[in-house]
């Protein structure tokens, strides 16, 4: 399978690829337990499989084509909206912090259409967020960061730097990341407030304004 075909397949999955192995293992344990007469174990594995389907589900969503919109990358609730400065004295950013929903969609969606870049060292004063930047054709940068500890608390991207993403396109597995931070240009009009529930590829976090 080539990279492009693999990327398209992952972007259309109803259950995230990472979940199929766990579902298969649970099914095998369930069948073996049932055949051996361990009905309690088999019943428990059915419950586990239901939970896994909820955890790894990745429902399709129709993303409205709004060129100036910045969409939420994950399902969750907004916990902070604050201004932060850039390290080089530039216009700075709006940081929208989202607490990820454990039972939300399992993949991360691109907030805008653009090309994947590394986050510049001087992008944010006093910080070097672990994440990536998506740069639009107009030169607007949206930064995505996923604070967390350990491999399983970091999203796993199935695209590379330099690749182009469509608005709302799936491009990474969320895994167990507890939160996501979205950095919007200071000129952007923020459309959410603390306490709002957002859906990946559906809720508009902000609108990019012409300079």
Average pLDDT over residues 35-47: 92
C-alpha angle 187-188-190 in degrees, rounded to nearest 5: 135
Average pLDDT over residues 178-184: 92
Cα 192 to chain centroid, rounded: 17
At a CB cut-off of 8 Å and minimum separation 6, what does 35 contact? none
- Kindly state which CATH superfamily the domain 69-207 is placed in: Glucose Permease (Domain IIA) (2.70.70.10)
Q: How confident is the model at residue 4 (pLDDT cuts 50, 70, 90)?
A: very low
pLDDT higher than 50, residue 191 = yes
What's the predicted TM-score (pTM) here?
A: 0.82
pLDDT higher than 90, residue 198 = yes
d(CA 73, CA 126): 24
Q: Is 174 exposed, middle or buried (0-12, 13-18, 19+ CB in 10 A)?
A: buried
C-alpha angle 169-60-29 in degrees, rounded to nearest 5: 110
CB-CB contact of 107 with 201 (8 Å): no
């Amino acid at each position: 399978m080539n990279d492009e075909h693999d990327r398209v397949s992952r972007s259309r999955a109803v259950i995230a690829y990472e979940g199929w192995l766990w579902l298969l293992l649970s099914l095998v344990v369930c069948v073996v337990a049932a055949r051996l007469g361990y009905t309690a174990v088999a019943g428990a594995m059915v419950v586990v499989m239901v939970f896994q389907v909820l955890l790894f589900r990745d429902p399709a969503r129709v993303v409205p084509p709004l060129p100036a919109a910045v969409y939420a990358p994950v399902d969750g609730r907004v916990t902070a909206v604050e201004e932060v400065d850039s390290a080089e004295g530039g216009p700075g950013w709006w940081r929208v912090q989202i607490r990820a929903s454990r039972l939300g969609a399992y993949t991360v969606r691109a907030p805008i259409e653009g090309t994947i870049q590394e986050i510049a060292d001087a992008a944010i004063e006093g910080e070097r967020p672990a994440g990536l930047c998506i740069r639009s054709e107009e030169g607007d940068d949206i930064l995505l960061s996923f604070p967390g500890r350990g491999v399983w608390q970091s999203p796993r991207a199935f695209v590379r730097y330099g690749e182009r993403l469509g608005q709302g396109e799936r491009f990474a597995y969320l895994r167990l990341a507890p939160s996501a931070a979205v950095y919007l240009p200071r000129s952007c009009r923020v459309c959410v407030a603390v306490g709002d529930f957002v859906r990946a590829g559906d809720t508009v976090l902000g609108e990019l304004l012409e300079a």
